[in-house]
Amino acid sequence: MSDRIPRAVADAEPFLAEQLRAAAAEGRRLLIRGGGSKDFYANTVSADEVLDCTAHLGVVAYEPTELAITVRAGTRLADVEALLAAHGQQLPFEPPHFGLGDTLADSVATVGGAVAAGLSGPRRPYAASVRDAVLGARVLNGRGEALEVGGRVMKNVAGYDLSRLMAGSLGVLGVLLEVSLKVIPRPPGSLTLVRDEPLGRALDLLRRWSRKALPISATAWLDGRLYLRIDGGEEALAETHRLVEGLPQQGAEEFWRDLREQRHGAFAGEASLWRLSLPPASAAEVTAPLGVGEPVVEWGGALRWLRGDFAAVRVREVASTAGGHATLFRPGVQGRAQEGVQGAPVDGVFSPLSDISLRLHRNLKHAFDPAGILNPGRLYPDL
């Protein structure tokens, strides 16, 4: 085990459960908070007090041969990644921190926040999403009751898979206490290749490569260049390099980190940042109707980032026409001035749900949190 996170550091479950039960009895709404690195994301919570989960930390179970780890939700994400790296392993979904200081070691992001936000990094389409990696969880519901959902190892498949509901739920269903996650071996080697390509040609290449058994672990297109990260042994890297061509990228690790953490210059600016999730086969000119420059493209064309203070209805229409959806990831300065303190559309930062989907969400919310005291409005304004 790593000296940085012993197996048992602090078990704050009794304290958190008591706080939650008291809040439920008095009807006080709670803002669930870990390191605060994702405070900018999603909708504003109208709460009476904060439930601080950062004291609940430590490794509960980790046996590298099982390819799984269970940690308390307040454990720093950077510490978990360091522990896994010491054993030649990593999280498959390459989560963004968004709470970095000068170095990754200064990150305040927690494992619970990473799972609750459901955000994945460049490796997501080639390895796993957050939801794919969740094996089980221990959760406090809105009554202050501890629930065990899922398991701790990959062979455990008993019962309903409620644990994956927690990924991306943003705390509206419960307070994460523990999370069990799949892990994967770190590759023996990695190489990033770059080539100058217009967006249309780059998307064609990515579609062609997706039909081959290539060891791709990340792709990106920005500023007229296509970036391709490949992982594997020396022979696999050399053969893939021969097939796809391109020049080796210097400082590749820093490049992918800055892209993941949105510290790259392509994300600079005061306009709103929109996240469009689209079918990978979408045409290059999908965003042309919005009258903006070329987007930052990831995930083989399935993820596109746009800067611009568009009307929400317009950018959602463009995404929907292409078969996807749009999220206001970060409101810009102009958007905040026009639409309120947080700059979010009246119906929230996420695309509105259909009537059937909204009914299902409400039923789940009522089952887990009948009094509606957990992160009210964080996911959707009326949940």
Residue 341 has pLDDT above 80, yes or no: no
Instruction: Average the pLDDT over 29-54 and give the result.
Output: 95
φ and ψ at residue 69, rounded to 5 degrees: -140, 140
CA distance 97 to 118: 12
Paired with 90 in beta bridges are 184
- Domain 13-185 carries which CATH code? 3.30.465.10
What pLDDT, on a 0 to 100 scale, did the predictor assign at position 73? 97
pLDDT of 232-282, one tens digit each? Answer: 999 999 999 999 999 999 999 999 999 999 999 999 999 999 999 999 989
The domain segmentation of the chain, as residue ranges, is 13-185, 190-260
pTM of the model: 0.92
Tell me which of 79-88, 102-111, 197-206 is least confident: 102-111
pLDDT at position 374 over 80: yes
Exposure of 11 in the CB half-sphere (CA atoms within 13 A): 6
The pLDDT of residue 336: 46
In CATH terms, 190-260 corresponds, of 1.10.150, 3.40.50, 1.10.10, 3.30.70, to: 3.30.70
DSSP label at residue 66 = G
Q: What is the 3-state secondary structure (H, E, C) of 184-212?
A: EECCCCEEEEEEECCHHHHHHHHHHHHCC
CB 273 within 8 A of CB 329: yes
Reply yes or no on whether the pLDDT at 338 is more than 70.
no
Q: What is the mean pLDDT of residues 156-184?
A: 87
